[in-house]
């Protein structure tokens, strides 16, 4: 995994997402998911470009089923965007680099 992308678990989710004012985007994915694999390079690229302004994280739905259920993730990939500990955006399905950057720019406004 890219060094600019943290792995979220049930143990660190609340502290890293809900109690942090910094903007964060979370990618709910699975290793077997082809659309997730297609989006991974765009997510990695965005993490490298925006990593000083936005935090990036991934949650493997197979390893953290409770978080997926709690976050109402019904299909993957799903991206959740948080600002000030509150979810402000959600996208289900793969995004290309341009679409992802547009969402990130909106998150930073």
Residues marked as catalytic: 33, 36
Closest C-alpha to 57, from 21, 24, 11, 99: 24
**How far apart, in Å, are the Cα atoms of 19 and each of 24, 34, 67, 82?**
11, 32, 16, 11
Q: Is the peptide bond before 103 cis (omega within 30 degrees of 0)?
A: no
List all residues 6 or more positions away from 52 whose beta carbon is below 8 Å from its beta carbon: none
């Amino acid at each position: 995994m890219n060094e600019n992308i943290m792995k979220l678990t049930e143990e660190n989710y609340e502290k890293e997402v809900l109690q942090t004012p910094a903007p964060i985007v979370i990618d709910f994915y699975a290793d077997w998911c082809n659309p997730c694999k297609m989006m991974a390079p765009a997510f990695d690229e965005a993490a490298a470009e925006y990593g000083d302004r936005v935090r990036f994280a991934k949650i493997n739905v197979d390893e953290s089923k409770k978080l997926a259920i709690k976050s109402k993730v019904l299909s993957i990939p799903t991206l959740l965007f948080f600002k000030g500990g509150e979810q402000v955006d959600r996208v289900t399905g793969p995004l290309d680099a341009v679409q992802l950057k547009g969402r990130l720019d909106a998150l930073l406004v």
